[in-house]
Amino acid sequence: MTESPAPAPTDAPPGLGQLFTGMLMVALSAFGGGLSAWSQRIIVEQRRWMSNEEFLTGLTVARLFPGPNQINMAVYVGTFFRGLPGALAALAGMLLVPFTLLMAIGLLYFQFHSLPALDRVLAGVVAAAAGMALSMGFKILDEYWKDPMALLLAAVTFVLMTFFHVRLVPLVLVAGPLAMAWYWPRRSQPGSPAGEPR
Protein backbone atom coordinates (compact mmCIF):
# COMPACT_ATOMS: atom_id res chain seq x y z
CA MET A 1 0.00 0.00 0.00
CA THR A 2 2.87 2.36 0.78
CA GLU A 3 6.36 2.60 -0.70
CA SER A 4 8.15 1.71 2.50
CA PRO A 5 7.38 -1.02 5.02
CA ALA A 6 6.56 0.40 8.43
CA PRO A 7 9.63 0.06 10.68
CA ALA A 8 9.37 -1.47 14.14
CA PRO A 9 8.95 1.66 16.34
CA THR A 10 6.33 3.36 14.19
CA ASP A 11 2.58 3.23 14.43
CA ALA A 12 0.33 2.96 11.37
CA PRO A 13 1.66 5.06 8.43
CA PRO A 14 -0.06 8.46 8.26
CA GLY A 15 -2.65 9.32 5.60
CA LEU A 16 -2.76 12.54 3.57
CA GLY A 17 -4.84 14.38 6.19
CA GLN A 18 -2.50 13.33 8.96
CA LEU A 19 0.54 14.43 6.96
CA PHE A 20 -1.12 17.83 6.48
CA THR A 21 -1.98 18.31 10.17
CA GLY A 22 1.38 16.91 11.31
CA MET A 23 3.34 19.45 9.26
CA LEU A 24 0.89 22.16 10.30
CA MET A 25 1.76 21.36 13.93
CA VAL A 26 5.48 21.51 13.10
CA ALA A 27 5.07 24.91 11.46
CA LEU A 28 3.00 26.28 14.36
CA SER A 29 5.40 24.93 17.01
CA ALA A 30 8.36 26.43 15.22
CA PHE A 31 7.16 30.03 15.30
CA GLY A 32 10.29 31.80 16.46
CA GLY A 33 12.69 29.25 15.00
CA GLY A 34 14.08 25.75 15.40
CA LEU A 35 12.01 24.22 12.62
CA SER A 36 14.23 21.20 12.11
CA ALA A 37 14.33 20.38 15.85
CA TRP A 38 10.54 20.68 16.05
CA SER A 39 9.93 18.44 13.07
CA GLN A 40 12.18 15.80 14.64
CA ARG A 41 10.33 16.06 17.96
CA ILE A 42 6.89 15.79 16.39
CA ILE A 43 7.56 13.27 13.61
CA VAL A 44 9.97 10.93 15.41
CA GLU A 45 9.17 11.29 19.11
CA GLN A 46 5.50 12.26 19.39
CA ARG A 47 3.83 10.68 16.35
CA ARG A 48 6.48 7.98 15.86
CA TRP A 49 6.01 7.96 12.12
CA MET A 50 9.70 7.38 11.42
CA SER A 51 12.78 6.10 13.16
CA ASN A 52 15.49 8.63 13.93
CA GLU A 53 17.76 7.18 11.22
CA GLU A 54 15.05 7.59 8.61
CA PHE A 55 14.59 11.19 9.72
CA LEU A 56 18.32 11.91 9.55
CA THR A 57 18.49 10.37 6.06
CA GLY A 58 15.76 12.85 5.14
CA LEU A 59 17.86 15.76 6.39
CA THR A 60 20.75 14.55 4.22
CA VAL A 61 18.59 14.31 1.11
CA ALA A 62 16.89 17.64 1.87
CA ARG A 63 20.23 19.45 2.17
CA LEU A 64 21.72 17.80 -0.91
CA PHE A 65 18.96 18.59 -3.40
CA PRO A 66 17.92 22.06 -4.61
CA GLY A 67 15.20 23.83 -2.69
CA PRO A 68 14.83 25.26 0.81
CA ASN A 69 15.98 22.67 3.36
CA GLN A 70 12.93 22.80 5.63
CA ILE A 71 10.55 22.62 2.71
CA ASN A 72 12.49 19.73 1.18
CA MET A 73 12.23 17.98 4.55
CA ALA A 74 8.43 18.24 4.42
CA VAL A 75 8.53 16.82 0.88
CA TYR A 76 10.68 13.92 2.13
CA VAL A 77 8.26 13.08 4.96
CA GLY A 78 5.26 13.24 2.63
CA THR A 79 6.93 11.21 -0.13
CA PHE A 80 8.14 8.61 2.36
CA PHE A 81 4.56 7.57 3.14
CA ARG A 82 2.35 8.64 0.23
CA GLY A 83 4.51 9.58 -2.75
CA LEU A 84 3.77 12.81 -4.64
CA PRO A 85 0.29 13.38 -3.10
CA GLY A 86 1.84 12.97 0.34
CA ALA A 87 4.56 15.46 -0.54
CA LEU A 88 1.98 18.05 -1.62
CA ALA A 89 -0.11 17.48 1.53
CA ALA A 90 2.93 17.86 3.79
CA LEU A 91 4.05 20.95 1.89
CA ALA A 92 0.62 22.56 2.18
CA GLY A 93 0.55 21.86 5.93
CA MET A 94 4.01 23.30 6.37
CA LEU A 95 3.34 26.50 4.43
CA LEU A 96 -0.34 27.32 5.04
CA VAL A 97 -0.05 29.41 8.20
CA PRO A 98 3.37 31.06 7.72
CA PHE A 99 2.69 31.96 4.09
CA THR A 100 -0.74 33.41 4.86
CA LEU A 101 0.82 35.50 7.62
CA LEU A 102 3.61 36.63 5.30
CA MET A 103 1.04 37.68 2.68
CA ALA A 104 -0.72 39.82 5.32
CA ILE A 105 2.62 41.40 6.28
CA GLY A 106 3.38 42.00 2.60
CA LEU A 107 0.05 43.68 1.87
CA LEU A 108 0.53 45.97 4.90
CA TYR A 109 4.09 46.72 3.81
CA PHE A 110 3.26 47.67 0.22
CA GLN A 111 0.32 49.76 1.44
CA PHE A 112 2.19 51.67 4.14
CA HIS A 113 5.93 51.52 3.41
CA SER A 114 6.09 55.18 2.41
CA LEU A 115 5.07 56.33 5.92
CA PRO A 116 8.18 58.05 7.31
CA ALA A 117 7.88 56.42 10.76
CA LEU A 118 7.71 52.92 9.28
CA ASP A 119 10.56 53.67 6.90
CA ARG A 120 12.77 54.80 9.81
CA VAL A 121 12.14 51.59 11.77
CA LEU A 122 12.73 49.47 8.66
CA ALA A 123 16.06 51.22 8.00
CA GLY A 124 17.24 49.84 11.35
CA VAL A 125 15.78 46.37 10.82
CA VAL A 126 17.42 46.22 7.38
CA ALA A 127 20.84 46.91 8.94
CA ALA A 128 20.38 43.94 11.29
CA ALA A 129 19.11 41.72 8.46
CA ALA A 130 22.18 42.62 6.38
CA GLY A 131 24.35 41.40 9.24
CA MET A 132 22.43 38.11 9.24
CA ALA A 133 22.99 37.76 5.49
CA LEU A 134 26.69 38.45 5.92
CA SER A 135 27.00 35.68 8.51
CA MET A 136 25.67 32.93 6.18
CA GLY A 137 28.99 32.30 4.44
CA PHE A 138 31.02 32.40 7.65
CA LYS A 139 28.67 29.82 9.18
CA ILE A 140 29.77 27.08 6.78
CA LEU A 141 33.35 28.33 6.25
CA ASP A 142 34.74 25.92 8.90
CA GLU A 143 33.72 22.87 6.87
CA TYR A 144 36.05 23.93 4.05
CA TRP A 145 38.89 25.48 6.03
CA LYS A 146 41.33 22.57 5.52
CA ASP A 147 40.68 22.16 1.80
CA PRO A 148 42.66 24.74 -0.25
CA MET A 149 40.90 23.78 -3.49
CA ALA A 150 37.51 24.41 -1.90
CA LEU A 151 38.64 27.83 -0.65
CA LEU A 152 39.99 28.68 -4.12
CA LEU A 153 36.70 27.64 -5.77
CA ALA A 154 34.75 29.70 -3.24
CA ALA A 155 37.01 32.72 -3.71
CA VAL A 156 36.77 32.59 -7.52
CA THR A 157 32.97 32.24 -7.28
CA PHE A 158 32.77 35.20 -4.91
CA VAL A 159 34.98 37.44 -7.09
CA LEU A 160 33.13 36.54 -10.30
CA MET A 161 29.75 37.34 -8.76
CA THR A 162 30.69 40.44 -6.77
CA PHE A 163 33.17 42.23 -9.04
CA PHE A 164 32.40 40.84 -12.50
CA HIS A 165 28.63 40.57 -11.96
CA VAL A 166 28.49 37.05 -13.38
CA ARG A 167 24.95 35.73 -12.98
CA LEU A 168 24.10 32.67 -10.92
CA VAL A 169 22.81 30.31 -13.62
CA PRO A 170 25.79 30.47 -16.02
CA LEU A 171 28.15 30.43 -13.06
CA VAL A 172 26.71 27.21 -11.61
CA LEU A 173 26.45 25.58 -15.06
CA VAL A 174 30.17 26.18 -15.75
CA ALA A 175 31.76 25.98 -12.29
CA GLY A 176 29.55 23.11 -11.09
CA PRO A 177 30.76 20.45 -13.55
CA LEU A 178 34.39 21.58 -13.14
CA ALA A 179 34.17 21.27 -9.37
CA MET A 180 32.38 17.91 -9.67
CA ALA A 181 35.17 16.61 -11.93
CA TRP A 182 37.78 17.67 -9.38
CA TYR A 183 35.93 16.01 -6.51
CA TRP A 184 34.94 12.86 -8.44
CA PRO A 185 35.52 9.98 -6.01
CA ARG A 186 38.72 8.11 -6.78
CA ARG A 187 39.12 4.40 -6.38
CA SER A 188 42.86 4.65 -5.64
CA GLN A 189 42.37 5.02 -1.88
CA PRO A 190 40.07 2.25 -0.75
CA GLY A 191 38.76 2.84 2.74
CA SER A 192 39.15 6.62 2.77
CA PRO A 193 35.77 8.36 2.64
CA ALA A 194 34.98 9.50 -0.86
CA GLY A 195 38.61 9.79 -1.93
CA GLU A 196 40.65 12.81 -0.85
CA PRO A 197 41.33 15.18 -3.76
CA ARG A 198 44.95 14.67 -4.85
Partner 1 sequence: MAPLLLAAAAEAASCAPMRLNDLGHLLQVMGTFLGLSLFSLGGGNTLLAEYHHLSVVQYCWLRPAQFADIYALAEAAPGPSSMIVGLLGMGAGWPEGPGWALLSAYGAEIAILLPSTLLMVVACLSWNRLRESPWRVAFERGLGPITLGILFAVGVKILQTADTNAPGVVVSLLVCVLMLRTRISPLWFMAVAGGLGAFGLINR
**Which parts of 177-196 interact with partner 1 (CB under 8 A)?**
178-185, 194
Least distance in Å: CB of 47 to partner 1?
Answer: 19
Restricted to residues 13-42, the positions that interact with partner 1 (CB under 8 A) are 27, 30-33, 35
Q: Choose between 45 and 65: whose C-beta lies nearer to partner 1.
A: 65
Choice from 136, 146, 190, 191 touching partner 1 (CB under 8 A) = 136
Among 1, 5, 11, 162, binds partner 1 (CB under 8 A): 162
Over the window 56 to 75, marking each residue x when it contacts partner 1 by CB under 8 A and - when it does not, the resulting string is -xx--xxxxxxxxxxxx--x
Geometric angle at alpha carbon 104, from 98 and 105, rounded to 5°: 85
Q: Quick one: which of 132, 188, 191, 198 contacts partner 1 (CB under 8 A)?
A: 132
Q: Which is nearer to partner 1, 15 or 67 (CB)?
A: 67
For partner 1, which stretch binds (CB under 8 A), given 6-14, 17-25, 41-49, 101-109? 101-109
Instruction: From 10-18, 45-53, 54-62, give the range in contact with partner 1 by CB under 8 A.
Output: 54-62
